[in-house]
Structure 1
Amino acid sequence: MDYYQVEYTKYELAKLSFLECLDYLRLYEKGVDFFADSPLAFERALSKAFTITYARPFTHNDPVGGMGVGSISTGWIKKLPSKQRELHEELVGDGRNAMVAHLDIGKLLPLIFVKPGNRNDHIIDWRICSLNENSIDDLRALATAAHKYCFEHQGKIEPKIKDSIISYRQ
């Protein structure tokens, strides 16, 4: 297994994640009127999907062919405007790692009202970025910047790849 093929593949999959994020933003724009009867459920579902998909390339990957893959670089984030850097940290840190993909009681700070039966009332301190009309432009700018970085990084790797087809199928 060639290191550059693994690295190129990691960034190709990251690009797909960021394109999916942009799809969620377009879906929000198109579907917000369609889901007018349950706007909070629609917003929450897309916010969770966006958060998980955006954070996916920044989480550890299992080794491939004896090589550690890791996550994509975060060095490029330092070049972003401070608002986008904070948004990235919110999505990956508290968003994905503590509130969406995991249930971190210390971050969610649940207040649960125990009732007879299986219908307890609860309040959760849902402090992740919600995909809505106030955040959509910032989320789009962040996902676009991430996609652009991956594309540029692949451009540096591509001359070092020996084959035109990269495959991990056995």
Structure 2
Amino acid sequence: MDHCQVEYTKYELAKLSFLDCLDYLKLYEKGVDFFTEEPLAFERAMSKAFVITYARPFTNNNSVGGLGVGSISTRWVRTLPPAQRELHEELVSDGRNSLVAHLDIEKLQPMIFLKPGNLNDHIMNWCLYSINSNSIDDLRALATAAHEFCYEQQKRIRPKISESIISHRP
């Protein structure tokens, strides 16, 4: 696989991640009423899934055929309004890297209250950006912008891909 094919494929996989993010938001909107007994558990689960899926294209990937794949470009983030840029950084840096995929004790800021016996109480400052009625539109706009960027990158790369590898289905 040549470099252009790898790049094109990387952006296709990223687009799928951002479409998954949009699906999580739809599922949240439809499912929140069904989880009235444990609404916070549902919100946390959907938020974690969103964060992991959104941040996935921005993490380095393994090489393919000796070609370094890396993450997708973040140049497009500079074109976003300031609030969306901050949201992107919060989801990728703090959300994925410190709170979801890894547990960064400094970010969690745990306070543990020791009691007699084997059980202890603890409080975590779990500051993960959550899907809720206040955030859903911002998350949708960010995932849509990321998907659009990937689509534009593919349009730029497509002419560089050999016609012999492009499948034309009837």
Instruction: Tell me the TM-score normalised to structure 1 length.
Output: 0.93
The match for 1:101 is 101
Structure 1 match to 2:36: 36
Cα distance, 1:95 vs structure 2: 0.5
- 1:112 aligned counterpart, secondary structure: strand
Aligned partners of 1:120, 1:7: CA distance in 2, in Å?
Answer: 50
Equivalent position amino acid for 1:28 in 2: Y
Task: Find the counterpart in structure 1 of residue 138 from structure 2.
Answer: 138
Query: 2-side partners of 1:149 and 1:120: how far apart?
Result: 47
State the percentage of identical aligned residues: 71
Letter in 2 for 1:164: I
**CA deviation string 1:68-121 (max 9, x = no partner):** 11100000000001110000000000100001100100110111234534x532
- In structure 2, the partner of 1:69 is 69
Q: Greater helix share, 1 or 2? A: 2
Counterpart in the other structure of 1:127: 127
Normalized against structure 2, the TM-score is what? 0.93
Deviation (angstroms), 1:6: 0.3
State the partner residue of 2:79: 79
Counterpart code for 2:83: K
| Equivalent-residue separation in structure 2 for 1:66 and 1:56 (angstroms) | 21
Report the number of matched residues. 164
One-letter amino acid of the counterpart of residue 166, structure 2: S
Structure 1 alignment gaps of length 5 or more:
166-170
Hey, what does 2:15 align to over in structure 1?
15
Alpha-carbon separation, structure 2, partners of 1:27 and 1:121: 33
Runs of 5+ in structure 2 lacking a partner? none
SS of residue in 2 equivalent to 1:34:
helix
Structure 1 residues 14-52: Cα deviation after superposition (integer angstroms, max 9, x where no partner)? 000000000000000000100011110000000100000
**Separation (CA, whole Å) in 2 of partners of 1:120 and 1:10:** 45
